[in-house]
Chains A and B, each alone.
Chain A
Amino acid sequence: MNRVILAALLSHWWRNPLQLFTLLAGLALGTALWSGVQAINAEARASYDAAAGALGEGNLAQITALPGGVIAQQTYVALRRAGWNVSPVIEGKLGAVRLIGIEPLTAPRGTGPGPLPDGADLGAFLSGNGQVFARAETLARLPDTGAEPVVTPEIAPNTAITDIGLAQRLLNRPDQIDRLLVLPDQPLTRRPLAEVAPDLVETAPQGGSDVARLTDSFHLNLTAFGLLSFAVGLFIVHGAIGLAFEQRRTMVRTLRALGAPLRRLIGLMALELAALALVAGLLGVALGYLVAAALLPDVAATLRGLYGAEVSGQLALRPVWWLSGLAMALAGTAVAGGGALWALVRMPLLASAQPRAWAMARHQRGQALLALALLCVAAALALWGQGLRAGFAMLGALLIGGALALPPLLAGLLRRAEARAQAPLAQWFWADTRQQLPGLALALMALLLAMAANVGVSTMVSSFRLTFTGFLDQRLASELYVSATDPAQARAIVAVAEGQAQAVLPIVLVERTVAGLPAEVFGARDHATYRENWRFLQAIPDVWDALARAEGVLINEQLSRRAGLGLDDTVEIAPGLALPVLGIYGDYGNPVGQVIVTEALFQRAFPQVTPLRFGLRLDPAQVGAMQAALRDRAGVPDTAMIDQAAIKALSLAVFERTFTVTAALNVLTLAVAGFALLMSLLTLAAMRLPQLAPVWALGVSRRRLAALDLARAVVLAALTGVLALPLGLALAWALLAVVNVEAFGWRLPMYLFPGDYLRLGGLALLAAALAALWPAWQLSRMPPARLLGVFRHER
């Protein structure tokens, strides 16, 4: 019996391939966007983890020299001989590649030599010409080192690992070490660090790499996009399944009348759906892979430029994400199909189907109430919610509430239009549009979500860009930044620069725990550069004068929010040295807290710290000459000099790439929504014949009817777009003012981009018109016999 019933059920798809295509395509596209974005995120995170793993960052304490300094190899040996179980690491750029030198005998197992594959030959690694381990693409970029290249996919992108001896030789830094990894097992007796190496500092494990925390913001955007895309996909699936089941209601009734038991029927339909979901899910994951593979190079370039985070431009197939993609497809189908199946269970075997309009009207009232409730929840969460989870819950409530509110709102608008319409055809147009609303509601909700997501995310990204570039302008006020390796070089830099630069601003900092949180304390020279460029979120009057008199400190927004510090609250920056907060400044992209004190006060508090970094104020035209002078006379390598204009150009280029990714996702989500609309219209086209035929019979030409259909789609899309704008802005606000603050500790000001929204609206109208074009064309070319058939079959 199962075979007979299943054959009958499946024959429906066979006879209506378009519906099958809608169902599969909707689910596949939704899954594709979701899993594509997830794939990008997973790839990036895996890259950070590989990087962190290779360096023992995160789970090991480290010993470093004061900023800009290096550790002498003799100091490493002295520490080992004093009982310190530490392992040396040297790091530098070899060409464009990050070269890391490790010492395999002392490196912590599973971290240092962790990336070394089982096939590693320690003899070859340590002696002769040595070996270099890296990914194939990294090895290809590496200059000829003379060492044997060993392809190792586990190593972080653009990173090569070799023996420390070889690394010192290749980097031309004999007897130098950048940092020491402190192993968890230390001997019972050990001389204190301050006694053995007083100029080194030990920092506690960070519990996660800096890069990962920095880039979280970017990934949050992507994840939000992924979720929204899936929500859009889900609406499409819901629509497709709903329509498919609607069309098969009579078939189900017939099957039952002919003796097919209900439970078996439902079971088989569920099975059928699961099979379809699996097929669509696989397709979607494959598509998602393509999306990710196409976007990943841009994402990788963005992350590298923006945060210096290395992400492979190549995609690995990770079981986690393709399984999650399949799971999402199945879950989405279960959600969408569950309701449809339940409706079938409750459908009376005989009572003729209730008038659809009536059913929809009742349905709509409930939906409107639910939407209202969800929007209230969102508002309540925005007002009183705490934490990131509440932020996301608020986003969810806002979006679903907004989507559910769409059909009742549209119905209201259409009813009003209908009441105003004078001409009979116009009246019919509005009434007919309203009648079609139930069939189009899901597709329109998908369009609404897609547009809202695009408004929200592009507002956030653009606001971030404006804020960040403005922030760069104020923070990178000096034309040239120079780092010294030791105090002697620092003195040389000052000597060279003082004659030629308008000002030499030392940058001196120390890492400390402030108000119980990790933070950097900076000493700033009182100079017009700061006074002219810095903007405060909050500050007392004449803040710079007060700072110069050492009356207080400036702190960044993160520290202010995390430690709950406001103006005039006191901050202890060194034992016994507590000062009031004079001003709070925005500090975007920085994961840790920051405190700024005046230079004199810093020297008093931390006399042992000497400046190794300098900002030089110059005529921009002199930057090249200054770099040459510093290189020739102070021995500063190019890598230790950063040209402000170059940084800004780089960050702008990076934002361009961010926009490429965002724009691509915009187009994709709109395309998905447009596709949903097309499928709904095509499905409705057949069902609407009985409504169209009488109007045609009364003398409205097919061309006219088709034109009206096209206009209807555009009008609906326009109305949806108008409603999507406030929803999108609410979404942007939630992302900027709630989620960002909870996740990263800074609040970005929100800017509006009406031009962008207009363009987006235009795109949405275009998508709707394109979606309506084919069904309308079909209608305009429909043989009159088919329209007449409506009357023949009428009963």
Chain B
Amino acid sequence: MNARLLILLLWLPVQALAQGFAGLGSEDDSFARPSRDTVLQFPADHGAHPAFRIEWWYLTANLTGPDGTPYGLQWTLFRSALAPGDGPGWASPQLWMGHAAVTTPQAHFVAERLARGGIGQAGVTATPFAAWIDDWQMAGPDFDTLRLAASGPDFAYDVALVATGPLVLHGQQGYSVKSAAGQASHYYSQPFYQVSGSLTLPEGPVAVTGTAWLDREWSSQPLAQDQRGWDWFSLSFDSGDKLMGFVLRGERNFTAATWITADGQTTAYPDGAFAAEPLARQTVSGREVPVEWRVRLPGRGIDVTVKALNPQAWMATSVPYWEGPVTISGSSGGVGYLEMTGYD
């Protein structure tokens, strides 16, 4: 989803870094552009695409503890290139950023990592699959069987992922158009992971099980000028069906959605089919953020209330945003993840 692109546009780890990424606001012809004709190749496309400016491996999970307590988990690796291609050692133009979080009903733990490419501190390989930054990793013999680990000053997790469904390509076979002007990205997901493992929290270790959703996206193109933020939903209904939908907030809101059936069949919905409106707001880290939404996709009879498990799921990273697990009630029940940016 294009929304994630904006994170990188606003990605300001340090003041100096911001200057380095200022160039992202403009198009740079030296980078590769997403093409409608590209046919995604697996497992090769699970790996990095250094010819493109930006890319990410973005995993969120809804988990449950032995006592039924719900938890949320996030593991993200961003790649951003100062120039296309790679180089030896420190000369590599590839930069990496990791975000990890664990959300409980009472608390939200966050950590961030930054690394240079070229020296082995961070990177992604397709076969066998491995994505890592420092001691954080998502790796396994193939994309369907992965071990996921991360740690911060006050939390850690180590879980196993097993895919129980196929990869899901968004848009036209993974070519996802983002605007009328034709901006696009390559975008696919693996929303069918079963998760088991343990979280380490200040109170001690917790065994967890649940489901996870992995997004893969890469592009080189910026968003529209007027778009200031977005609200993105990944929802898993009790029926086994899933819904990805987002609202890009601008002078005119732009929405898009993908309906995914339990066996992995997809339907893409154009602008306007998907709707989300805030029902309740809360002060989070000094700003008003909607933490309860009405989400509708009339074409599938969806009219649900989406509510944050922990309204204070604030990502106090270099660029702050809200990302946390949600519960669904209404026409269908379920769980999911919500991401909100641009609430400054």
Direct A–B touching in the complex (beta carbon < 8 Å)?
yes
Can you identify 15 A-B contacts, CB atoms within 8 angstroms? A80-B121, A81-B121, A81-B132, A104-B14, A104-B17, A105-B13, A120-B19, A121-B16, A123-B23, A124-B20, A127-B82, A127-B83, A187-B156, A188-B154, A189-B151
Q: CB distance A83 to B134 under 8 Å?
A: yes
Q: CB distance B115 to A80 under 8 Å?
A: yes
Most chain-A CB neighbours within 10 Å: which of B82, B89, B90, B120?
A: B90
Interfacial residues, chain B to chain A (CB-CB below 8 A): 13-21, 23, 82-83, 89-91, 93, 95, 111, 114-116, 119-121, 132, 134-135, 151-156, 200
A546 to chain B, nearest CB (A): 51
Is A432 in contact with chain B by the CB < 8 A criterion?
A: no
Contact of B119 among A73, A124, A166 (CB under 8 A): A73
Given A105-B13, A105-B115, A168-B90, A126 contacting B152 (CB threshold 8 A) = no
B163 to chain A, nearest CB (A): 26
Q: CB distance B121 to A126 under 8 Å?
A: no
Contact of B19 among A123, A174, A187, A190 (CB under 8 A): A123
Q: CB distance B91 to A105 under 8 Å?
A: no
B190 to chain A, nearest CB (A): 25
Q: CB distance A113 to B155 under 8 Å?
A: no
Is A396 in contact with chain B by the CB < 8 A criterion?
A: no
Q: CB distance A82 to B135 under 8 Å?
A: yes
> A122's closest neighbor in chain B, by CB?
B20
A83 to chain B, nearest CB (A): 4
Contacts of B154 in A (CB 8 A): 188
Contacts of B152 in A (CB 8 A): 187-188
Given A77-B121, A81-B132, A163-B90, A104 contacting B153 (CB threshold 8 A) = no
Is A551 in contact with chain B by the CB < 8 A criterion?
A: no
B30 to chain A, nearest CB (A): 12
Bound complex: CA of A418 vs CA of B21, how far in Å?
A: 89
A581 to chain B, nearest CB (A): 44
0/1 string, A349-369, CB within 8 A of B gives 1: 000000000000000000000
Contact of A126 among B116, B134, B153 (CB under 8 A): B116
Q: CB distance B19 to A80 under 8 Å?
A: no
0/1 string, A102-123, CB within 8 A of B gives 1: 0111100100010010111111
B197 to chain A, nearest CB (A): 14
Q: Which 4 A-B pairs have the closest CB atoms?
A: A165-B90, A122-B20, A187-B151, A123-B20
Contacts of B121 in A (CB 8 A): 77, 80-81
Contact of B15 among A77, A82, A118 (CB under 8 A): A118
Given A165-B90, A188-B153, A189-B200, A121 contacting B19 (CB threshold 8 A) = yes
Interface residues of A, dominant DSSP: loop
Q: Among residues 76 to 91 in chain A, which have CB atoms less than 8 Å away from a CB atom of chain B?
A: 76-77, 80-83, 85
0/1 string, A38-60, CB within 8 A of B gives 1: 00000000000000000000000
Q: CB distance B89 to A165 under 8 Å?
A: yes
Bound complex: CA of A502 vs CA of B180, how far in Å?
A: 85
Most chain-B CB neighbours within 10 Å: which of A73, A122, A124, A164?
A: A122
Given contacts A74-B120, A81-B135, A188-B200, 6 further A-B contacts (CB under 8 A): A105-B13, A119-B19, A122-B14, A122-B19, A187-B135, A188-B155
Q: CB distance A125 to B16 under 8 Å?
A: yes
Is A202 in contact with chain B by the CB < 8 A criterion?
A: no
Contacts of A174 in B (CB 8 A): 89
Contacts of A82 in B (CB 8 A): 135
Contacts of B151 in A (CB 8 A): 83, 187-190
Contacts of B155 in A (CB 8 A): 188
> B135's closest neighbor in chain A, by CB?
A83
B32 to chain A, nearest CB (A): 18
Bound complex: CA of A482 vs CA of B13, how far in Å?
A: 44
Contacts of B132 in A (CB 8 A): 81
Q: CB distance A77 to B135 under 8 Å?
A: no
A192 to chain B, nearest CB (A): 13
Q: CB distance B111 to A187 under 8 Å?
A: yes
> B89's closest neighbor in chain A, by CB?
A165
Is A186 in contact with chain B by the CB < 8 A criterion?
A: yes
Contacts of A126 in B (CB 8 A): 20, 82, 93, 95, 116
A319 to chain B, nearest CB (A): 25
